[in-house]
């Protein structure tokens, strides 16, 4: 009884996987042919993406350096004010 019930569902799942695999294979072959035919265009696009990624990384590094400098300046200003005569008290839960 269970074999009859699950047989149709397994068949549908297998059909779906076969269709997906077939179409993804066709897509990969088509994309490979497109890259082969238009390799100069894809090389130009890839180079542009690398340039944009490089400029983005440089901008991010500059922002981090500025924020680090601002944080260090602010920390030096507040070290004497907030950390003078500070004592930490806590309960001892292990006794």
pLDDT digits (tens, 9 = 90+) for 1-17: 455 555 677 778 888 89
Q: Is the pTM of this model over 0.85?
A: no
Q: What are phi and psi of 87, to 5 degrees?
A: -125, 140
Question: Do 17 and 24 touch, CB atoms closer than 8 A?
Answer: no
Question: Do 55 and 62 touch, CB atoms closer than 8 A?
Answer: no
For the chain, the structural domain boundaries read 1-37, 39-83
Please report which confidence band the pLDDT of residue 85 belongs to, taking 50, 70 and 90 as the band edges.
Answer: low
Q: Find the mean pLDDT for residues 65-88.
A: 69
pLDDT digits (tens, 9 = 90+) for 68-78: 887 777 666 55
Higher pLDDT: 43 or 83? It is 43
Whole-angstrom Cα distance, residue 48 to residue 4? 57
């Amino acid at each position: 009884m269970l074999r009859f019930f699950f047989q149709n569902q397994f068949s549908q799942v297998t059909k779906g996987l076969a269709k997906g695999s077939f179409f993804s294979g066709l897509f990969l072959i088509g994309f490979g042919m497109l890259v082969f035919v238009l390799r100069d265009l894809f090389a130009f696009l890839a180079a542009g993406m690398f340039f944009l990624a490089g400029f983005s990384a440089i901008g991010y590094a500059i922002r981090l350096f500025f924020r680090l400098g601002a944080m260090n300046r602010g920390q030096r200003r507040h070290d004497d004010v907030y950390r003078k005569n500070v004592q930490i008290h806590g309960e001892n839960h292990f006794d």
